[in-house]
Structure 1
Amino acid sequence: MDLQSQSIVVSSETDKVYVRHDPKLADILDFILGQAKRLVGAKNGAFYLINENGQLVKYGKTEQGSITDLISKHIFKNRKNLLLKKGSTLKEKNITITESYIACFLGQETGILDLGVFLLEGINHFDNFSTQDFELISYYSSNLSLLLRDSISSESSEDVYTSLITSILLLLDNSNIHQKNNRLEYQTEEIIRVSGLINSSLDLNSLLESIMESAKSVFRSEGSSLMLVDPSKEYLYFHIVTGDKKEEISKIKVPMGQGIAGSVAISRKPMIINDAINDPRVFREVDQASNFTTRNILAAPLVVEDEVIGIIEAINTIDRNNFSQADLDLFLSFATSCALAIQKTKLLNNLEETNHTLKEKVNTLASLFELGQAVMESRTEADLIKKSNQIIANEMNASIVATMIVNRAKQVIEVIAIIDGKEEWFKENFIRDSVIIESILYNNTIVSSTGLKDGLEDYLDKEFIIGSHILLPLSISGNKPFGILCISGKKTQGPFGENDLMLLKTISSQLIKGYENIKLGIEMIAKKAIEKEIEITKNIQKNILPDRIPTHSNFDLGVKSVAAKEVSGDFYDIHQYEDGQFAFLVADVSGKSLPAAIFMAISSSIIRTLSRNHLLLPDEILTQANSLIYEDSQSGMFVTLFYIHYDPVTMEIQYASAGHNDQIWIKSDQSYELLKGKGAPLGVVPVGNYHGGNIKVSPGDLFVFYTDGAIEEKDSTQEEFGLERFIQEIINRKHLSSQQIIDELYNLIVEYADGAEQFDDFTVMILKFKDDFQFNRVFPATTSQIPKLRDFVNDCLRERNIADLILEDILLSCDEAATNIVIHGYKDLMLDNPSISCAISLDGSKITVRLQDNGKEFIRKEVKPPSVEANLTGERRGGFGVFLMERLMDKVEYKREENTNVWLLEKKLK
């Protein structure tokens, strides 16, 4: 019998071989395909075998017939096995395949035996065949090629099929063993690979997803998942899900203690559930949500630092009925890997967060240091704000930083900003419906993750609020905000938050301190300037006022000037002419500043210069002074003034007023008159018209100069002290000296104001005209003291500018009277200390000299008239003195009072 006719593989006349078609062969091929599909979980399979015509004939079933035809032809032509993944492109036809394929060449690579192609299409539960699948089927195909080649030498057809079936069964056993070895090798490699992944640079989610995909592949399950315990520890949520129902399952939460996952999380023990359909512990909501049937479950806890943080599961075996204990033991290694990955990531995140926090603190410290430098170097508020804006923009990663300073008095806001590195500086009126302005007015801090709604923003808001923003009012020591910091346009991902606000508050506190220091520095400089101005003003005023208060026998003078503020607007002046007359004035200058003080100095100098001209009357002095002061007056400054000339001899006063208060003449009988003058304040009009008046005062009268501050102080009910009260209080103290009257009056007014701040400058000057005998002195009754008595009278009367002839008559009369007292009055009297008392009185019209002694009584009628003849003959000596006094003086009076002789010598001035 021909052997070839009994073989499966037949050699042709051209030395080419082919596979002979036979029904028995088809059954064997179906068996081989079924076992191959079982080995790797393939969906479909087919043989492409060469026939006697040299064509590939298909045995089996595939879904994509045209594609599998192309693949088989390609494999047969190139004699190379091939693993194709889903989505690959067949270059020859530019076709994208929708399934994974394993295609193996059947025959010898040398070309001696070309039998065909063995092809598997698609894999259940996975996207692609694995490398292990490819190697197993390649092993399977290689051995199948050898078996088919050996059929050429078979002796009979029955022997061929029997031998082939036996060999295939042996091949299947070897393939199973090979598969198990490959599986163990694969599992070992996966465990090593997963362990290596932990130290890789993958992010946690990618790492866990890779581990769970590996678990799904290793344990040949339909799906796998990783669930984590939520922060509240009330439930488990799906963090990683593999398989077809990923989207539906990811939304489900499993309460702690419920279901297999919840039980494992509580018990911290792994579990195998191989009859999940009938196990009441299974959480059915997962199947219901995913329209899925859970047959068996492999579950293990994830433990980190003795705390369960989650669980992992493998669901539904593919190539076997149940999970085994060996699967569970191996599954725990995956749980450990996941736990280690999470722990490592947690540690790295903590380290990264710590480093980030540390870096932020370092950056913040650097920014604060830089801001501190800016505070030290800046000399103006604007300079500090510009530097601060740049520091804040860098630290906060903001494209817009604006510092806005409010001027509430002017209702203006000053904006100094940096926008995308460019500086802006302008002023804007208050806009009441602005979010920024309202934040300032109500001291409201705003941290917003979004921008403002369209139509709600004004110019400031549109310009400086872009997207997420922070508005931080700036205030000093809890006072009303003086401005605001506006931060927006964040350059990095995410909105501004509370941490950004805390950082901004830290930085802004330095800005506020620096701003306050600069402001205080400016205020200090201004204060020093003011103090210097006040010092200069005080010096000017000090030089304006008289350096001493004159004393005089005819009057008692007192004066007091107290400034309401640091600088007074009042001044006074006193001048004594060579002829013994006086000029007095009190003035009030508008304004209290340095310019007012200078104006006061000019005015005082002009008035003082003019008043030194004794020929000018008071109203003439004011008229000329007004013209000169008007030329120097600036910004409406002026002077009110009351001016008098006083003649102590005649006790006459000439006065004039330039818009000043009516001054007071208090008479000895306690009645009074208000002296008025006509004329505007000096410096108001270019040509003044002034009219005053004349009065004649008497001993015991008072002339009171004052400024309005002396009568306008108010009590707690806002009632003024008033002129009437002022006059009455002076009258009540008329018995005191002028200075005592003024001092008590000032204290009374201060007490009346009840501690309130002095309203206006206080200036009062009082002339108190003395009573009779303003000059008194006692001399020893000796001849050597007579010249001294004469000198005393001379000195007292000289200062009144008495005419020489009148003065000589008085001096000669006093000399005669004193001589008579010493030679005759005290003759033969044995007294211890005989003396002569001399008193002088001037009342404006006459001078009275009073001499008193304790000598013998002088009897005027016993003195005989003088006789020249009797003196020549020696009948009598003297007798001329009394008659000479009576001839020289207008009146000579003698009287005896209580054992005292009193001489009154009176001389009229005109």
Structure 2
Amino acid sequence: METSSTETMEYKFDISLVRSINKSITSHMPLPTLLESILEVAKTLIGAESSSLLLTDRQSGDLIFNIVIGDKGEIIKGRRVPRGKGIAGMVAETGKPLLVNNAQDDPRLFKEIDDKSGFLTRNIITVPMIVMDELVGVLNVVNSKGKDRYDSVDLEKAQYIAEQAAIAITNRMLYDDLEKRIAELSALYDVANAISLTGHNEDVLQNILSSLSASMNVERASIAIYNREKKKLILEAMCGFEKRGDARIEVDIDSTICGKVFKSGDPLIVSSADGELPLHLRRYRKNYHTDSFISAPIIYKNETIGVLNLADKKNGGIFDSFDLRVLTTVGTQIAEAYQNALNFKNREEQRRLAQEIEIASRIQRGILPRIPAVFHDHRLAAYIQPAREIGGDFYDFFQIDERKYGILIADISGKGIPAALFMGSVRNIINAEKETDPRPSHLLRNCNRHVYNDSESGMFVTLFYATVDMDTRIITYSSAGHNNQLLVRKNRCEEVILNTRGKPLGVLDDQEFQECTVQYEPGDILLLYTDGVLENLGGSDLDADLGERELSRVVSGFADTDPGELINHLKLVMSRNRIATDMKDDITIVAVSL
């Protein structure tokens, strides 16, 4: 049987076609080059104005315009087509090819793509790319050239190209997946190395980001950490962005992509910002070189603390599940590194603060007056125990004349450094005013005016002040809102409560203070103390009334003793109570054996 010349030509043409396709489509090419080659082959051998490859998103099953050759191609690159929607979606869903010559009249045409690109689809061949029953993607050849319609021969060519393309793409992807796994391990190693080299340095995030952006081959990257006080995300590290001085950039949570990822706690991988983001989020994508980006939450102990962002691949490619996997893993490392750096910083600050407090405590203890153990035939002793390193209680002793002296005890509102600073101010005022007029009611009145003017944030001071005249044996005293004080009678086994009307210093601008006197006998004990003593003796409920009764009971057994021994006994009783109750307030005692 003879073969006609026409049949021979067609046979030769078929063989050359196959050779051309097999030569042009090989898995040895890098994937972007391979995809371009597939489309050039399809576009040239079938005769089309445009061709495109839509690869399957392994996570969602959607089709993504990975590469487009032809007019308006860049506009639709990265756009998604849901499976089952449009001609491409139908082919993906059924696994069967479609040839449509009247595309504009076909309801299956996904016209959103034409509307976006301004391209008019007249006719189209769409074939699935399947390997081992798995859809790799679909191949489109659009708008026939040199003829009005596509025919069955064009469809067969497209199917053959798609078959070869599916195999080549799958093999290349397997190879690329292996390379990506190596790249992933390399990226994680680089990040871990950056963390180890940086240690607890404040630049740990910037160093991690610089290493990550180099490993992932991206032009832009950023790390945003949530600031609880400002209730905003703060860009703590950036690569590829223009810095605005030393000020950190604040990112609004409600109107940004970063905020969306932070609030949801879910990663966001976008192939085409224009096609996948609402308008109010797209406006933040100005000046980017590509439409694809990826954002992943930074999570520490099940709490989202920030967001990691990558954009603008240097090769112009689209971010995929591999990038997401790397970002998710790195996000965990960033969270640990950031928290460790933060904890280290806090520990350092606490250590420095502790040192400063210790220095301040030593200074405070050093400036407390040294009460003389003996003044003529009077014996004196004092004890002070702050609830914290720095207290707000203080006492003072000063000689008025040869046989007359003043003694006082005070309790500053608040605790810690603010109380200590206020205490220093009050002591300076008292020291200045006592030189002018040491009489108790006058001293308190004059001091109050200055304390009121110097007081900030509502701080005040309770104070008991007495002058002791050794010739007349008269104690003259005034109280500025202080708790009761005691005069313990030696011979009559009783206590006289000492107190007067008067509000704490610093509460009112102008006020007068009551002044009273009491006669003492030799051997009596004047006991001054702050409310911390009463709270300690008042049991677990810190009952001041109970504490006052307990103090009277303890003191009554030591009425005829040295004031130092009395204070030591009180210290012993209070130390036992401190085991059962936390020390809430400073404890100060001054005892004078008259």
TM-score range, shorter chain: 0.5 to 0.7
Work out the CA distance in 2 between the residues paired with 1:205 and 1:629. Answer: 86
Q: Which residue is equivalent to 1:624?
A: 446
Change in 2 beyond 3 A, CA 1:531/1:248: closer
Partner of 1:496: 320
- Spell out the pairing of 1:117-156 with structure 2 (5 A cutoff): 120-123=5-8, 126=11, 128=13
CA distance in 2, matches of 1:523, 1:763: 33
Note if 1:697 corresponds to 2:520: yes
Q: Is the 8 A contact 2:460 2:505 kept in 1?
A: yes
1:403 equivalenced with 2:208 (yes/no): no
| Distance in structure 2 (CA, Å) of the matches to 1:252 and 1:370 | 41
Q: 1:651 maps to which residue?
A: 473
Q: Which residue of 2 aligns with 1:579?
A: 402
For 1:801, the equivalent position in structure 2 comes to none
Deviation at 1:646, TM superposition (A): 1.2
The aligned counterpart of 2:298 is 473
Q: C-alpha displacement at 1:482, in angstroms?
A: 3.3
Listed one character per residue, the Cα deviations across residues 109-150 of structure 1 (whole Å, up to 9, x for unaligned) are xxxxxxxxxxx433498364989xxxxxxxxxxxxxxxxxxx
Task: Return the alpha-carbon distance in structure 2 between the equivalents of residues 507 and 437 of structure 1.
Answer: 19
Give the 5 Å matches for 1:534-549.
534-549=357-372
Residue 573 of structure 2 is aligned to residue 731 of structure 1: no
AA partner of residue 121 (structure 1): T
| 1:565 counterpart SS class | coil
* Paired residue secondary structure (2:444): helix
Q: Structure 1 pair 130/660, CA: closer, same or farther in 2 (3 Å)?
A: closer
Distance 1:728 1:714 in 2: 6
Give matches, 1:269-348, under 5 Å.
none
Change (3 A) 1:412 1:741: farther
Q: Which amino acid is the alignment partner of residue 408 of structure 2?
A: L
Poorly superposed stretches of 4+, deviation over 6 Å: 247-254, 348-353, 449-462
> For 2:486, which of 633, 652, 664 is the aligned residue?
664
Alpha-carbon separation, structure 2, partners of 1:440 and 1:711: 52
Note closer, same or farther for the CA distance 1:509–1:617 as it changes in structure 2 (3 Å cut).
same
| One-letter code aligned to 1:656 | S
C-alpha contact 1:436 1:460 (8 A) present in aligned 2: no
The reply to whether residue 710 of structure 1 matches residue 525 of structure 2 is no
Any idea what the Cα deviations from partners look like across 1:448-500, whole Å, max 9, x if unmatched?
5668999997967974897663423242xx37443232446666545432x43
Alignment of 1:446 with 2:270, yes or no, is no
Partner Cα separation in structure 1 for residue 206 and residue 128 of structure 2: 56
What SS does structure 2 have at the residue aligned with 1:203?
Answer: coil
TM-superposed CA distance for 1:586, in Å, is 0.3
Report deviation, 1:693.
Answer: 0.9
Once the 2 structures are TM-superposed, how far is the Cα of residue 573 of structure 1 from its aligned partner? 1.2
Matching residue's letter, 1:665: L
| Partner secondary structure for residue 567 of structure 1 | coil
Partner Cα distance (2:564, 2:354) in 1: 31
Report the Cα offset of residue 618 of structure 1: 1.7
Answer yes or no: is the 8 Å Cα contact 2:253–2:262 preserved in 1. no
How far did residue 697 of structure 1 move? Answer: 2.1
Amino acid at match of 2:468: Y
Q: What is the alpha-carbon distance in structure 2 between the residues aligned to residue 755 and residue 479 of structure 1?
A: 38
2:390/2:416 contact within 8 Å kept? yes
Q: 1:632 to 1:409 in 2, by over 3 A?
A: closer
Q: How does 1:3-14 map onto structure 2 within 5 Å?
A: none
**What 5-or-longer segments of structure 2 have no aligned partner?**
35-94, 96-125, 134-151, 153-163
Q: How does 1:77-226 map to 2 (within 5 A)?
A: 120-123=5-8, 126=11, 128=13, 203=26
Q: Give the distance between the partners of 1:577 and 1:399, measured in 2 at CA.
A: 79
Name which structure has the greater RCO, CA cutoff 8 Å, separation 6+. Answer: 2
Report the alpha carbon displacement of residue 634 of structure 1 after superposing the two structures with TM. Answer: 4.7
Deviation at 1:572, TM superposition (A): 0.5
Amino acid at match of 2:357: I
Instruction: Name the SS of the counterpart of 2:374 in structure 1.
Output: coil
Amino acid at match of 1:757: D
Q: Find out whether 1:392 has 2:277 as its counterpart.
A: no
Question: CA 1:696–1:248 in structure 2 vs 1: closer, same or farther (change >3 Å)?
Answer: closer
Note the residue ranges of structure 1 that are not aligned, 5 or more in a row: 1-37, 43-119, 132-192, 208-237, 239-246, 255-289, 291-337, 770-910
Instruction: Give the AA of the match of 1:527.
Output: Q
What secondary structure sits across from 1:121 in the alignment? Answer: helix
CA contact 1:544–1:604 (8 Å) conserved in 2: no
Which residue is equivalent to 1:570?
393
Task: Give the TM-score taking structure 2 as reference length.
Answer: 0.61
Distance 1:409 1:581, change over 3 A: same
Alpha-carbon distance in structure 2 between the residues aligned to 1:253 and 1:496: 22
Give, in whole Å, the separation in 2 of the partners of 1:583 and 1:493.
85
Q: Deviations over 1:314-335 (max 9, x none)?
A: xxxxxxxxxxxxxxxxxxxxxx
How far off its partner does 1:550 sit?
A: 1.4
Secondary structure, counterpart of 2:390 in structure 1: coil
- RMSD after superposition: 5.0
Residue 305 of structure 2, aligned match among 454, 462, 482: 482
| Counterpart AA for 1:604 | R
Is the Cα–Cα contact under 8 Å of residues 434 and 458 in structure 1 kept in the other structure?
Answer: no
Measured in 1, the distance between the counterparts of 2:131 and 2:359 equals 87
Please say if residues 122 and 128 of structure 1, whose CA atoms lie closer than 8 Å, have aligned partners that are also in contact: no
Match for residue 86 of structure 2? none
Give the alignment of 1:366-381 within 5 angstroms.
Answer: 366=190, 368-369=192-193, 375=198, 380=202
Write the letter of the residue equivalent to 1:564: A
Please identify, of 461-470 and 408-417, the stretch whose mean Cα deviation from structure 2 is larger.
461-470
Change over 3 Å in CA distance of 1:671–1:250 after alignment to 2: closer
Q: Residue 321 of structure 1 aligns with which residue?
A: none
Deviation at 1:761, TM superposition (A): 1.2
Instruction: Give the C-alpha shift of residue 542 in structure 1.
Output: 1.8
2:234 corresponds to: 414
- Residue among 532, 535, 541 paired with 1:719: 541
User: Cα gap change, 1:604/1:351 in structure 2, threshold over 3 Å: closer, same or farther?
Assistant: same
Residues 1:464 and 1:742: Cα distance change in structure 2 (over 3 Å): farther
Alpha carbons 1:413, 1:427 under 8 Å: kept: yes
What is the letter of the counterpart of residue 619 of structure 1?
S
Alignment partners' CA distance in 1, 2:416 and 2:225: 30
**Greater Rg, structure 1 or structure 2?**
1
State the match for 2:69 in structure 1: none
Partner of 2:60: none
- Comparing 679-688 with 450-459, greater Cα deviation is found at 450-459
Q: Is the 1:715–1:753 contact (alpha carbons within 8 Å) kept by the matching residues of 2? A: no
**Deviation at 1:750?**
5.4
Of 338, 360, 383, the residue aligned with 1:560 is 383
Query: Deviation of residue 422 (structure 1)?
Result: 4.3
Q: 1:439 to 1:745 in 2, by over 3 A?
A: farther
Q: Which amino acid aligns with 1:760?
A: D
Match of 1:759 in 2: 584
| Residue deviations 1:859-882 (CA, integer Å, cap 9, x gap) | xxxxxxxxxxxxxxxxxxxxxxxx
Aligned in 2, Cα 1:440/1:702: closer, same or farther, shift over 3 Å?
farther
Whole-Å separation in 1 of the counterparts to 2:530 and 2:278:
59
The answer on 1:607 being equivalent to 2:422 is no
Q: Give me the TM-score of the superposition, normalised by structure 1.
A: 0.42
Instruction: Determine if contact 1:730/1:741 at 8 Å carries over to the other structure.
Output: no
Q: Quote the offset at 1:510 in angstroms.
A: 5.4
Match of 2:338 in 1: 515
Task: Check whether the contact 1:445–1:473 (CA below 8 A) recurs between aligned residues.
Answer: no
- Secondary structure of the residue that 2:361 maps to in structure 1? helix
Is the 1:538–1:567 Cα contact (8 Å) retained in structure 2? Answer: yes
